[in-house]
Structure 1
Amino acid sequence: MKKIKVTNEALVSRQQKARTLNISKILEAAAQEFKQYGFNGASISRIAETAKLPRTNIHYYFENKLALYGAVLTHITDLWNNAFSDIKSTDDPSETIANYIDAKIEYSRINPTASIIFASEILHGAPHLSEYLNTDFKLWIADKAKVIESWQLQGKIDVISPYHLLFTIWGATQYYANSAVEIEAAFNRELSYDDFEQAKKTIKHIILKGCGMTYKGYV
């Protein structure tokens, strides 16, 4: 039988894939745990059980519960920020903002846990997000505000506060994750895919027209 030679590159690739898969499993399980029990009540043992990995694996990748919680929060902020990270003054603001609203609503639909964990952290005074809020977040939002202001100077969008525009988008889109129980009580049923699609259209209509823009995609 011919022996299969495994190169160092192939071995490293396998190890990287295994590491990526394990970390993904851990972060997903940890998100569910932190959502249900909060930081103080969360258990590394339960996270390991949910991830179907030995507890030693959790500690191999993350020093302790605080490090794991920080990784979950970082994953959430990276996910959200990337949806609006590459905007430029030359972009069409109506299309760019519409796409951002779509992405944020989709996150509320497919990954409500992320929004709930983030909201809980903020409501508790953001003790584990203070460094991020005072560094990367400030730089990120200041950069987006400058782009929005450049659109205003070009006459592409009404002159309004870029910061309050973003706050409004976040509040409207994340509501569908953070307050799903209230929405379902109003509808007297569970939220459906069509409900999220209607939410996209409605929010885009209100935001874009409110900023003096038109975009065919919101109707």
Structure 2
Amino acid sequence: MAETRIQSRNRAAILDAGLEVFSRRGFGGATLDQIAAEAGLSKPNLLYYFPSKEAIHRDLLLGLMGAWLDPMRRIDPEGEPLDEIMGYVRRKMDLTRHYPRESRLFANEILQGAHHIDDTLGGELRDLVDRTAALIQGWVDRGRLAPVDPHHTIISVWALTQHYADFDVQVRAVLGDADPLLRAEAHVEQLFRRLLTPPADSTR
């Protein structure tokens, strides 16, 4: 039976509240009472939709993984290599700007041992990273990108883009910027463009 509009709204409110609480407190520090209060619902009402905080957490992580993998999936093997990688970097920065809570949820899960998504990390994510690394290596071998370690280049993209969401408080405290991403986006793009641009005569 299809959910009513109220049921859909309540389910969405619970997931949004769970995202807020989990991103601030981590899985271990979050409680159903906190999530229910954040959602503006009673705990029994919340339990009508989700039997446990594990169920809420799992739904959030499963939804997040699709969004997290999509920017890499969109790298076009037939495109211009530098443009494709820089597009990936920009898409990751867009995720940092628009979905900081999701980034912190993911970071908290990783810091806690990734027990809820370890099969995805070692399966779907690893397969996608291996394919993308092989693509980058092919571009390097043909002189279309500067010599880099493909796997560590991908990890570096993660580190440099997601840091601005995961460590937002630290970044803002150090920079004092109302919006540190205004400068960060240009800086990160400059770093990877310089790293990946092949020598002028490498493709001749």
Q: For residue 158 of structure 2, what is the aligned residue in structure 1? A: 170
CA distance in 2: counterparts of 1:207 and 1:156, whole angstroms: 14
Partner SS for 2:14:
helix
Partner of 2:127: 139
Q: Report what 1:81 is aligned to.
A: 69
Q: How far, CA to CA, are the matches of 1:38 and 1:155 in structure 2?
A: 44
Q: CA–CA distance in 2 between the matches of 1:211 and 1:62?
A: 46
Query: Which one of the candidate residues 28, 31, 40 is aligned to 2:19?
Result: 31
Partner of 1:5: none
SS at match of 1:83: helix
Letter in 1 for 2:123: T
Q: CA separation in 2, counterparts of 1:62 and 1:169? A: 35
Shift of 1:106: 2.3
CA offset digits 1:74-115 (Å, max 9, x no partner): 222221211221323211222222222222222222322222
Runs of 4+ in 1 over 3 A off after TM superposition: 15-24, 52-63
Instruction: Give 1:68 shift.
Output: 1.4
1:51 maps to which residue?
39
The structure having more radius of gyration, on CA atoms, is 1
Offset, 1:167: 0.7
* Equivalent of residue 201 in structure 1, options 186, 192, 204: 186
Check conservation: 1:89, 1:148, Cα contact below 8 A. Answer: no
- Is 1:158 the counterpart of 2:143? The answer is no
Shift of 1:170: 0.6
Structure 2: gaps (5+ residues):
200-204
TM-score (norm 1): 0.78
1:184 is matched with which residue: 167, 172, 188? 172
Letter aligned with residue 208 of structure 1? R
Q: TM-score, normalised by structure 2?
A: 0.83
CA RMSD of aligned residues (A): 2.6
Q: CA deviation at 1:137?
A: 1.5
For residues 208 and 161 of structure 1, what CA distance do their matches in structure 2 show? 15
In structure 2, the CA distance between the partners of 1:205 and 1:190, relative to structure 1 (3 Å rule), is: closer
CA distance in 2, matches of 1:164, 1:177: 20
Q: Distance in 1 between matches of 2:178 and 2:95?
A: 14
Q: Residues of 2 paired with 1:28 and 1:59: CA distance?
A: 15
Q: Tell me if structure 1 keeps the 8 A contact 2:82–2:197.
A: no
Unaligned runs of 5+ in 1: 1-10, 215-219
Whole-angstrom CA distance in 1 between matches of 2:103 and 2:78: 31
Other structure's SS at 2:55 match: helix
Question: Relative to structure 1, is the Cα distance of residues 22 and 180 closer, same or farther in structure 2, using a 3 angstrom cutoff?
Answer: same
Q: Tell which deviates more after alignment, 158-167 or 143-152.
A: 143-152
**Alignment partner, residue 4 of structure 1:** none
Partners of 1:18 and 1:142 in 2: CA distance: 43
How far, CA to CA, are the matches of 1:30 and 1:110 in structure 2?
A: 17
Q: 1:18 to 1:86 in 2, by over 3 A?
A: farther
Q: Could you tell me how far 1:37 is from its partner in structure 2?
A: 2.6
Inter-partner Cα distance in structure 2 for 1:153 and 1:96: 16
Question: Sequence identity, in percent?
Answer: 26
Within the candidate set 188, 207, 210, 2:195 is matched to 210
User: In structure 2, what is the Cα distance between the partners aligned to 1:138 and 1:157?
Assistant: 22
